[in-house]
Amino acid sequence: MIRLLLSHQWKEATRSSVWQKNVAINAVLGFFMLILLMYVVLIGFFMDELVQAVKPGANTIEVVNRALLYYFLFDLALRFFIQELPVMGIQPYLHLPVGKGKLIHFVLWKSITSMFNFLSLLLFIPFAVRMLPELYGTVGTWAWVLGLFLLTLFNNFLTLYFKRLLVEKPLVTFGFLFAVVGLGAADYLGYIGLGTVSAGFFSGLGSNPVWLLLPLVLFAGAYVVNYAYLKAHTYPEEMRIRKQSKVGDTTEIGFLQRFGELGTLISLELKLIARHKRPKSTMTMGVFFLAYGFLFYTNKVYTDGYAMLIFPGIFMSGFVMLSYGQFVPGWQSAHFDALLTKRLSPYTFFLGKFWMFVPACTAAYLITLLYGLMPEIGGKIMLINTACFLYNIGINTFVVLYMSTYNKKRIDLSKGSSFNWQGVGASQFILMLPALVLPILVYVPFGLMDKPYWGVAAVGVLGLLGFIFHRQLLGLVVKRFQEQKYAIAAGFRQA
């Protein structure tokens, strides 16, 4: 049965038009992938020399054991944003005399073939074979390697489960991500010691193979949870309903429907982001830039004053808005002419963008409050980030939307995001200047008068006033858009 399913998968892949058109590209990518994997193996083999270059005289095995838990946390975060869900069209098989369990097991085991799951083996087997037998012996060495592989598979199935939950229960998935970020922040601030836990566990894994039971239980638990979820969601009638809803219902994000036409616009925008690589990667980059504060908050040159801390405050809580908003309305360039013919007022169109940016800034701001746990400067960071958040939702949202009326560059959503400069123009670069510089200019006069708290308050109050009078500010954006909409449409028609 497994052989038959593998045969079908291979035929589906090789007979597709995409495969036939990109054979040469796939060959080149495969060559570069082999080179990359070779570098990974070399890093593993020379890990002792690399550790000694960074920490001369340190015990390499102890350093690696302390770092492994951080490695798996980073692997988990990276998988969530990059690893794709394993796809198999099992609907044609469901009416056949084939056990559903076999199909689900096949889908789950297929996910193990992801390259993510073998990177840890390629990286750590050369290190283990070279360094560990002297300390742990042969059995302990391979128990250590097996433990790493089981934890890698645990990460794999944990990621798949929460990515599947993202559609049905987004709050659960975001809670999971928040927990991972919080765990890393708590360790960085010294409230917990992940390095100590990591060193103790992986040292025990090599010394006593009984420790293998823990990663084995974690792997088995994650596998069973995924199996149960898929088994409960692979009924033919459920798939049929899902398929029909994709054709006939474009607004199935339920809680947004209570907001009427505005909710429909936001729902469509979220679906556009979820279905296309470029807007999705633009949004997900904002998650990584939440760690941008560590570059500033750990440097005393910046933390002694207030002005320089406004920059990371604006940047972190507003990155998603700035990076995504700079291409508005280019994201809709393919159907912009159709939008102009609809009974959709420009005010409602821009109001939908505004109410999509505000929650994005709010979520980023709440996460940046974790920086407030930093000793000595935590209170200052929370104060400045709060003012910057208010400025983002009250002023920068309108700066972004107003500058968007100068955007006449078409964006093809079918193209990927890597090295794609389509849609980038002068307005994108000009946009960043007022968004990042103006709040600092608002603060500077008060800073020169040695009234830093007044300056921070001025930034926050200005943003709060902008938010209160957002309807009037949106009116200015709409007026500018009405003057430029035909020029924008003409620009979008150009290839």
Nearest to 194 by CA among 301, 111, 76: 76
Q: Supply the pLDDT for residue 87.
A: 56
Share of the chain above pLDDT 70, in %: 80
Q: Give the Cα separation of 30 and 470 in Å (integer).
A: 52
Most confident of 28-37, 245-254, 274-283, 479-488: 479-488
- Give the pLDDT mean for 122-131: 92
Here the tokens at position 346 are 């420009």
Which pLDDT score, from 0 to 100, does residue 153 have?
A: 94
pLDDT band at residue 187 using 50, 70 and 90 as cut-offs: confident
pLDDT band at residue 88 using 50, 70 and 90 as cut-offs? low
Distance CA 250, CA 335 (A): 16
Q: Give me the amino acid identity at 24.
A: A
Residue 73 has a pLDDT of 86
Helices H, strands E: what count in the chain?
Answer: 25, 0
* pLDDT grade for 241, boundaries at 50, 70 and 90: very low
Tens of pLDDT, residue by residue over 385-427, are: 999 999 999 999 999 888 888 877 777 766 554 444 444 444 5
Residue with the bigger pLDDT between 243 and 484: it is 484
Is 53 within 8 Å of 40 (Cβ atoms)? no
Q: How far apart are CA 71 and CA 69, in angstroms?
A: 5
**pLDDT (0 to 100) of residue 170:** 67
Please determine, for residue 60, whether its predicted confidence score (pLDDT) is greater than 60: yes
Q: What is the pLDDT of residue 295?
A: 77
Backbone angles phi, psi at 344, to 5 degrees: -125, 120
- Structural tokens at position 18: 């995409």
pLDDT at 244 over 60: no
- Whole-prediction pTM: 0.57
- CB crowding 147-181: b at 16 or more within 10 Å, else e: bbbbbbbbbbbbbbbbbbeeeeeeeebeebbeeeb
Which string of DSSP letters, residue by residue, matches 392-404?
A: IIIIIHHHHHHHH
How sure is the predictor about 152, in pLDDT bands with cuts at 50, 70 and 90? very high
pLDDT score at 246? 41
Average pLDDT over residues 313-340: 82
- The one-letter amino acid at 118: F
Range from 229-243, 282-296, 341-355, 425-439 that averages highest in pLDDT: 341-355
How far is residue 472's CA from residue 470's CA, in Å, rounded to a whole number?
5
Residues 168 and 161: their CA atoms lie apart, in Å, by 11
Q: Is the pLDDT of residue 18 over 60?
A: no
Mean confidence (pLDDT) of the chain: 79
According to DSSP, residue 250 is labeled S
Place of tokens 């750990």: 298
- The pLDDT value given to residue 411: 77
The answer to whether 235 and 241 are in contact (CB under 8 A) is no
Give the pLDDT score at 460.
Answer: 93
Which one-letter DSSP state was computed for residue 429?
A: H
Q: Does 439 score more than 70 pLDDT?
A: yes
Q: Residue 249's pLDDT is what? A: 42
> 106 pLDDT band (50/70/90 cuts)?
confident
How far apart CA 7 and CA 12 sit, in angstroms, is 9
